[in-house]
Structure 1
């Protein structure tokens, strides 16, 4: 095996054209790591926020290899690793924030940031799942409990996190109301299990609460968008209800939480990678998610596929937001 590989790196923050195809040393796994031959990655908002320089604390060292999601085949295991062996098909979230990521022919990462890939999905499609499925899972399982017939409102229901959130809430037995800004986005939400969809651009909160929530609001509002959606979420949730969000950087008025005795759960799914500890939660949750995929409860929706060489085009489309589900990056 040669000692060098192709990687797509950035030397500075900037627009999507900042990616450069380059040759770097193939990394060797540490005792608690595995190395995989990369089959695919995918695009998440965190990837282009890091590329732009919006999240300097999350950036790997320059020259930086970005992207958090990966699917591939184990090609080397560290001395302490027992969970995997060479040839295993895995998917995971080993880096891309805080440490080097997955836009390369090979990637190493802590063994606990990987799981066996779903058996019923093409391996490259498994790369669409880690960040969004872990986020949706932690929002609905770690930060709240969804009971049968709970009324759950999902914002951005056709987006990466949102379209997994709809499917998970449905699997838990909830009644799901999903928002979307276009007919295409609302059609996808219906197709993947939403009971009702709402065009939030033409319907105010009071109206859809009155129409679709049986009491004074929804039991749970699932908000993978954040910013000022959070204020809308506080209006849409019932007293003593829960809002779960990925909100990160805006300043928000929390007085509605006090007035209605609300719970707020906030998820930063890449935290174990940034901290270099608590990684086992990633692997365990990914094993559960793979089982749900194989049971037919979750299916990722892939809107477009790009090659690694086309990463700039994938980022441009990602930032425009004119797509549903996920954008896949395939290593050809």
Structure 2
């Protein structure tokens, strides 16, 4: 028997992208219903990522977005209806997840969305819905890199490239929570943030790779190097990793690179493509599992997202995208869907 609260409104507001590169348009659409294996969520907040702006501009072919599209990959909200065979969720539950906005999956820039229940988890009790919406994409990416691929553990030295960024700042916290000693690169203006997160800051603009490897590892190299930047930073990662046992992980390993420095160290490499379960349908359960683990970390005080203090709504979603593109954010930009 399907459990539900009073029926959702027949129509909803949603931000729609009709053509790549065109302005976002606020429209009235029919409210979706929860199909097999799905949960209908009343969206409270949607996190904005650089990925969202790239999709809008038509520069994210890997997201395989189909137009017209409702963007927004991160969500936090309240369960409205649950399909008959779905367990673990009931109407009124506060949830979060990386659930749509790519492929043919509806995104979170809408008042309601029907999502695969496997992609959801109950949000951390200690966070509000707005803060919870900041986490899904960045924390799943960091977890897949550090925990699933590199198996980070106590006693290791971990280098995070881009430590004050979206993925980077949660990667630092995950690695520290698992007992690693963490170092992180950034520009001069981000070093204070990196230090506040508990990592040793490294100014990559003034310190050559060889120098910080010598200073912080005695020339041995880092056990894990997590690249969240790509390009030349990934190349630098191959020269910063420990010989034989070191592991490089990248969330942006999409260019052409020489792996000779890595090979000469006998080290290993893994790539992370966080969108794959959403695009293929395979492995979606693991996203829910990660989010449950993350919720426990947050509620234990070991992880906290950085959230930009500005407030945006569905009507000002375009301004939120511009804020992300400007590179001047002080944490994750959040769009308040439920005003």
Moved more, 215-224 or 308-317: 308-317
Shift of 1:171: 0.9
Residue pairs, 1:1-332, within 5 angstroms: 1-14=8-21, 18-98=23-103, 99-183=105-189, 185-194=190-199, 196-240=200-244, 241-305=246-310, 306-331=312-337, 332=339
Shift of 1:48: 1.5
Q: Do the aligned residues in 1 keep the contact of 2:48 with 2:321 (CA within 8 Å)?
A: yes
1:263-301 CA distance string (max 9 Å, x none) = 111111111000022110011111111011001110001
2: CA distance, partners of 1:60 / 1:113? 18
Q: Do the aligned residues in 1 keep the contact of 2:63 with 2:275 (CA within 8 Å)?
A: no
Q: Do the aligned residues in 2 keep the contact of 1:159 with 1:324 (CA within 8 Å)?
A: no
Q: Do the aligned residues in 2 keep the contact of 1:5 with 1:106 (CA within 8 Å)?
A: yes
Residues 182 and 323 of structure 1, relative CA distance in 2, 3 Å threshold = farther
Shift of 1:211: 1.4
Shift of 1:237: 1.1
Shift of 1:215: 4.0
Q: Do the aligned residues in 1 keep the contact of 2:309 with 2:330 (CA within 8 Å)?
A: no
Q: Secondary structure at the match of 1:298?
A: coil
1:146-170 CA distance string (max 9 Å, x none) = 2222111111111110000011111
TM-score (norm 1): 0.95
Q: Secondary structure at the match of 2:19?
A: coil
Moved more, 136-145 or 51-60: 51-60
Which runs of structure 1 show a deviation greater than 3 angstroms over 4 or more consecutive aligned residues?
none
Q: Do the aligned residues in 2 keep the contact of 1:66 with 1:103 (CA within 8 Å)?
A: yes
Shift of 1:322: 2.2
Q: Do the aligned residues in 1 keep the contact of 2:239 with 2:262 (CA within 8 Å)?
A: no
Report the RMSD for the aligned CA atoms in angstroms: 1.4
2: CA distance, partners of 1:234 / 1:295? 34
2: CA distance, partners of 1:80 / 1:228? 48
TM-score (norm 2): 0.93
Q: Do the aligned residues in 1 keep the contact of 2:98 with 2:136 (CA within 8 Å)?
A: yes
Shift of 1:57: 4.7
Shift of 1:329: 1.4
Structure 2, unpaired ranges of 5+ = 1-7
1:63-111 CA distance string (max 9 Å, x none) = 2001110000000111211110100000011111112111000011100
Shift of 1:129: 0.3
1: CA distance, partners of 2:153 / 2:86? 38
Q: Secondary structure at the match of 1:303?
A: coil
